[in-house]
Each structure stands twice: as C-alpha cells, then as structure tokens.
Amino acid sequence: MVTEAGLPPTHADGLGPLLELRHTQPNVLNGDGGRLWLATDSYRELLRNMHVTDAWFEHASGHQGYISVDRLRRDELAWTNFVLRAKRAAIAVGFSDDYGAKLTAAIGEFYANVIDHSGHVETGYVVYSASPGRFEFVVADAGVGVLNSLRSNPAYAHLVDAGTALELALDEGVSRYYTEQGHGFGFRPLFVGLANISRYMRFRSDDHSRSLTRNADGSIDAQTSQLATTNGFFCCVVCDVEIQTPTNHPDQAPKNAERG
C-alpha cells in the first residue's frame, strides 16, 4: 500500500498540474502551500491566498494572479483590473501587446462560461502565471460539470458518457441552452483565437479529460482519457512566446482524436 510517507519528492514546476491536483484532491492542497513530498516553491503564496481571499496578485513582479469568478461578477471594476495585470505580466515575459490582449480575451470567455454553465458560480476561479517566454492560465469551478450541463438540453439528454460530452462541448461548441442564441460554450472560437500562441490545452470534467497539443507544423493532436471523477470543470492553457508566429494555421482542426 502506498502511503504519503512513501511518495517520492516532487517539484511543482507547472501551474496547471498543481492546480488540477488542488481541484481534484483539495485535501492534499488545502491552503498550507504543499506537503512533505510536494515542493510548491514559487506557487506557495498563490496557494495560500487562494485559500483565504477572493483576489490576490503577486506584489513583487505581478507575474501571478488569482481572482474568484464571484468577485468578477459582483465587482464591475474587478475584471478591468485583472485584465490590466494579466496583460502586463504577459508582455513582461515576451508576448506582444496584441497577443497579450488575445490571452486576456480568452480568459474572459472561459470565465463567462463558468457563469453560464457551472450552476455554482461561487466556486469558480481564475489564475494566471507568467514566466520568461511562457504564460499559463487556469479557469475552473466545482459546479455541475459538462455532462450534467449538456443533459439539461433535451437534444443531449441521452448522453451518459462524460468523454463524449467534453468532445461535443469543446469541438462543436454545443450548449445546455436549447433555443437561446449566444449561449454556446464558445470553446471552438477560443481555439482559433489562441491558435498562434497556445502550446497545450487541457480540460477535465466528471471522469474524463481532453488534451490538445500543438505540433511543430501547427496541427493539433487531441486525446480524450478516462480518469478519476472530479467536480465541475477544470481547464488549463499554456502559451509560449516562440509559437506566436504568423506561419501557423489558426483554423487547423484537432487531429488524431483518441479515446484513452
């Protein structure tokens, strides 16, 4: 039997995997910034503040930030403040002004989907982290999840598989809203908007995940995998400065979609 004491020392060098662990196993990262086997280092202050407040930005460099979706919904100035800080952080690590704007616009679309679809806005949050040549952000909630959200639409009431639900929501932009316009998940347009700068996207809901990885030629490999069940919806997007070139193909569709 594997115990915590028997786990090998692990260094958390990526925001996405660390917050996915926090999202799926909140007892592991409950505000203390880490465990004996897990070194969180530069994310320690972020984790602590996520546990005690609804908004926080790194004081020294501004390269990390966190805000709850509920705060964004309640405070009309909160989003403007978040955008200014996140865009400034992206530009500081090498992204152009244009791509900094695209990144913050994408974050806005993701958090709007939390409001529209999660059923529990109070659980939603947005986090970003910038480092030389790299910008990463996470948007997540502990709401109803993609499968239950889609099943509330009569056209998708037959769905029983969370992996299929994720694929439909991400690749086709379908929604739980049956007749209203403008209420799709909106993820497909995001793929186009982020195409020139995103290296990796990962989405998780219920008992499945879907990952999209950009190849050197601009094509995207997509894979759906079954995992342990988690609450709500979690997404992570990683963008690299070296990918923001005009030679990529923003309309390239994901290929090699596989069910794991």
pLDDT in tens, 79-112: 999 999 999 999 999 999 999 998 998 899 889 8
What's residue 212's pLDDT?
87
Higher-pLDDT residue of 237 and 25 is 237
Span between the terminal Cα atoms of the chain, in Å? 26
pLDDT of 184 strictly over 90: no
Contact by Cβ (8 Å): 223, 188: no
Note the pTM of the prediction, 2 decimals: 0.85
Higher-pLDDT residue of 173 and 65 is 65
Q: Which of 55-64, 180-189, 228-237 has the lowest mean pLDDT?
A: 180-189
Contact by Cβ (8 Å): 223, 208: no
Instruction: Give the pLDDT band of residue 65 (cuts 50, 70, 90).
Output: very high
What's residue 26's pLDDT?
81
Topology of the domain comprising 60-259: Heat Shock Protein 90 (3.30.565)
Q: Which two tokens stand for residue 203?
A: 């989405």
pLDDT in tens, 230-239: 999 999 999 9
Kindly report each contact of residues 84-88 with a partner whose C-beta sits within 8 Å and lies 24 or more positions away, as own/partner: 85/57, 86/128, 86/137, 88/62
Q: Domain extents for the chain?
A: 60-259
